[in-house]
Amino acid sequence: MSDEYLVEIKRSARKVSPDAGRWVRAHGARRSFATKALAAQWARIMSPPDRTVWVQDAAPWDASDVDGYVVGGRRVSPRRDPDPGEQGSLADLG
């Protein structure tokens, strides 16, 4: 096993980041980094102002030989109000 952190740049990252798309066309869909932190830094650099590109670790059961995936999109912010309110019964509506 290598000490490098190998990522596959997924279509979602290429769709939201023209820079990531150009990199894939020039070099292929996989890239290795010395560390995961460097992969994450590269993903941040690839992120356009209104979108996010980030590194997602591969699941332990993932059959691929990559350590993670570079993915893109909009990250959903957590709810600001942790209390969703009271839950009512459907019987109360009728």
Per-residue pLDDT tens digits for 57-81: 999 999 999 999 999 987 665 556 5
- Label residue 76 exposed, middle or buried (CB < 10 Å: 0-12, 13-18, 19+): exposed
Predicted TM-score (pTM) of the model is 0.75
| Sheet order of strands, 5-9 included | 30-33, 5-9, 68-73, 52-57
CA distance 34 to 65: 16
pLDDT of 83 reads 58
pLDDT of 1 reads 47
- Residue 45 to residues 32, 50, 51, 52, Cα–Cα distance (Å): 16, 13, 11, 10
On the CB side of 57, CA atoms within 13 Å amount to 6
